[in-house]
Amino acid sequence: MKGFPGLQRIFLLLFAGFTLGWMAPVQATSADSLQVSLDIPYSLGVRRTTVAPGETIRAIFNMESTAAAERMIPVEIRLPSGIAPTGDNGRWQVIRQEEGWLLRRNVALAGSYGQWFDLLTFGLADDLPFGTHKIIIRAGEQTQEKVVQAAPLTDGVSARQPPVFERIVLPLDKDGRQDEKQSGNAIVLRDRSLDYYKNILRGKGAANLEIEAIHPVTYMGLDFSNPAGQQKLVLVEAELLDWNTRRHIPGLYTPGSNSDNDGAGAMADKQERLTAFVALNGETKQRIQLPIYADEALLAEGEYLLRVTVEDGAAQIWSHEIPVTMVKKNLRGMLTLVVALVLLLVFLVVGGKQLPAVLTAMKTRRLITVALFGTCAFAVVNVPSTLLNDFFHIFLGPFAFVLTGMFSGVMLYMLTGALITLIPLQGVVSLMAAIRLLLGMVAFGHMSPIVFLSYGINAFLLEGALALSGFTSRTLADGPPAGFSPRRLVILALACALADTAATYVTLQGMSVLYRLYYADWYIYLVMAVNGFLYTMIGAGCGLLLGSRLADVGGD
């Protein structure tokens, strides 16, 4: 290259030009840096390809600019005859023309990247011809055509037929399923009185209790019938009314997005109602599921009216009212549990002192008989109930007790009635329950607090009822056991039924407190009536007959 200085200069010039050209930014044209689109008919859910004469449709107009400098873009949307702008179109200039309508405005787009969009509402004439209709869009130097296909509705429904707000459904879980154990239209409020101390024990310290309270107490469903397939955004407001005066009651709230929202923090107590924007997506049948937020401190237990109002921002307003029951955790369950625990503790102390005397009073063959009956009860009651419990719940849900009660009611008390007919001695029922409990602990690991409570209170109440009725005594009389008689049948059946009914109530209340469950009153009474009283009477009556025949065959 030293011998060719001219060639060297040419090479350097080419290299410099290539480098500068590669590093220089590519200048895009204004048309390439602007993207324009019109989505019509705009779908909120179900995608639509056609429109029907007489309906109202919406469109999304969107522009994006990647130019380096800020730009002012003139925009025009030319509508054909039969399609007209309706409602509030913001800052658009609406011009009536012979061949249709013209919408015009200027849009400022920021430099580097700018975006602007708007939601437009158009009304279709009732006599709009079927077929294609062209909408012309001009934005800056760009021109586009958008085709709208008009076609009749397949089911013959008028396009102007409004949606119908049919009903309110509650309570629902977060998956939209209804809990059959709860009363219809019942809202269960949480007990937040101990939340501060729970946070201390869990190591959270002084946490923000208002933020932790933003959890829906339940969910409600709003059922809409929409035969015309209309799509629109609606505003939903739910509020509570006094049952008698129909005045507004504070209690429902809309969660605030931050601590400054409405000056009320997370609770947003200035609203005193639940507010939400939802969409009708055009489905013929649609259920809109909404969470219900309630301030437990403002609401008392009792009957209220729930009013739900739905507005579409135009002329349509729907309103429904239903009675609701506010359920708060009261002291009934806690008081029942405390009394049951005290009685159970006294029973264990007294029973522990009397146990040696009871064992001494019974012969070895009677102890073997008690053990056999306890083992048999475990085999025919505990085993099938444990193995089939989930299977029954699949088909019957909360009413599975109708079948499981055949084991825990009829079969159990048939064996219990037969045993105390053969050995009418106080303490026999407790020994039989203890054997069932021990076998259940070993075989299935049944060692929860509610299991000990259920077995213990059942044995205590049954021992007391049989002793008060005179069916059992401290000592056994000489001679064969008493046989079957209608009087003994009535006494045994009533004593067992009343004791088991009370034990069933205590067990359900204990589960409500210990496991934070909720059972409607009618459900508790139904379980007590069927499982606690009816099945127990049948089982006890059959047990007396079985025990009398066993006594005739083999003595005691």
Residue 180 pLDDT class (50, 70, 90 cuts): low
Does the structure show a pLDDT above 80 at 17? no
Q: Cα dist. 180→44, 187, 289 in Å?
A: 33, 13, 18
Q: How would you list the strands of the sheet with 164-172, edge to edge? A: 164-172, 218-225, 285-292
Does the structure show a pLDDT above 70 at 450? yes
Handedness of CA 463, 467, 468, 471 (dihedral sign): positive
Task: Quick: pLDDT tens for 356-400.
Answer: 888 887 788 888 999 999 999 999 998 988 888 888 888 888 888
Residues in the chain: 556
Task: Quick: pLDDT tens for 283-301.
Answer: 888 999 999 988 877 888 7
Task: Quick: pLDDT tens for 469-502.
Answer: 988 888 776 656 667 788 889 999 999 999 999 9
Q: DSSP assignment, residue 532?
A: I
What does the mean pLDDT of the chain come to? 81
Q: Could you write out the DSSP letters of every residue in 537-551?
A: HHHHHHHHHHHHHHH
* Among the ranges given (149-158, 391-400, 405-414, 419-428), the one the predictor scored with the smallest mean pLDDT: 149-158
pLDDT at 268: 46
| Domains detected in the chain | 34-150 (2.60.40.10), 164-328 (2.60.40.10), 331-554 (no CATH)
Torsion angles phi and psi, residue 42, rounded to 5: -75, 130
pTM here is 0.54
